[in-house]
Chains A and B, each alone.
Chain A
Amino acid sequence: MEQNEVNMCLAIKAAVTESIENMVFMAIDTDLDGLSEDLGSDPVMASLRVLEPRPGVLRLAMPRSTVVEISKNLYSVAENELSDAMIQDVTCELLNTISGRVMKRILPAECAFHLGLPEMVDKPHDLQGAFVQCSFLADGNLLIVLAQI
């Protein structure tokens, strides 16, 4: 792995840890210990464009079960009280928060950045390509962050 990819992975790991642990108090583990990175039959994915200082994309992909667990913790509700709109909004806001923290870590302090609005994507093949991919477990639930910056 090249040094810039290593730095990106470290920035993503820190951003995911700060975001998930502060928002929903779920512990982040980077050691998947042989667990599958399969997103399952009903994955939930969001994408966010980096507009400045250089174009790029950040994506968040999770099995639906992961975002359900995060949403239950965030809203303090039971699974049957979660709507699709809530699931999508949680996914987009989580990606938005993670993305800002990643950009802050990889850019010099004097360099401002501009992010687009997060949006849901539904095609798994959109995740292919020259992305840096980092996988995590949040209290045992898989989530994957991809970056192309």
Chain B
Amino acid sequence: MEVQAMLKILIVDDSSTARMFIRRCLEIAGCQGAAFQEAGNGKDALDLLRKAPVDFILADLNMPVLDGRNFLKRLKSSPKTCDIPLIVVSSASNPASDVELIAEGAYAVLSKPVTPPALIASIGALIKKQEEAHGTE
């Protein structure tokens, strides 16, 4: 899969190891030309988004200061950010909570450790959806 070079992706996780690993998986999945931003919690992520929007977000749930679930709520409650797709990448996902997260606006939920094939499945559908929304091939 080849992804647009100037795709902007925000990775939100309190673990620098997790952020590095997700970024590497994204690069393997075809996002090697993307512009990556990183934040250690939901509050820092919202601060980054106020400065510049991104194409999509990958966020953990279990974080200090502002956790992923509350970050998702704030993201979806703001007209400026409500259209940004958020993919949850968490160790604490399971079928019961995944349904809730999707209902609250998450685009997809992936379990840690995330893998390039799982990301390809999510990102590929996401990019196709964005292209269709913009009327492009």
Identify the A interface with B (CB < 8 A). 18-19, 22-23, 74-75, 86, 89-90, 92-93, 96-97, 99-101, 103-104, 107, 109-117
Interface string of B1-24 (1 = CB under 8 A from A): 000000000000011111011000
Per DSSP, are chain A's interface residues mostly helix, strand or loop, or mixed?
helix
- Judge whether B113 is part of the interface by a CB distance below 8 angstroms: yes
> B-side interface residues toward A, CB under 8 Å?
14-18, 20-21, 62, 64, 90-97, 100, 111-113, 115
Closest residue of A by beta carbon distance from B93: A100
| Contact pick for B17, options A90, A110, A115, CB 8 Å | A90
Known: A22-B113, A93-B18. A100 touches B96 (CB 8 A): no
Interfacial chain A residues near B21, Cβ < 8 Å = 23, 74, 93
C-alpha gap A107/B64 in the complex (Å): 25
Query: A97-B112, A107-B94 provided; 6 other pairs, C-beta below 8 A?
Result: A19-B112, A89-B15, A96-B91, A101-B91, A109-B96, A116-B62
Q: Is the CB of B17 within 8 A of A112?
A: no
Within the complex, the shortest CB–CB distance from B51 to chain A, in Å, comes to: 26
Report the bound CA distance from A117 to B41 in whole Å: 13
Contact B17–A100 (Cβ < 8 Å): no
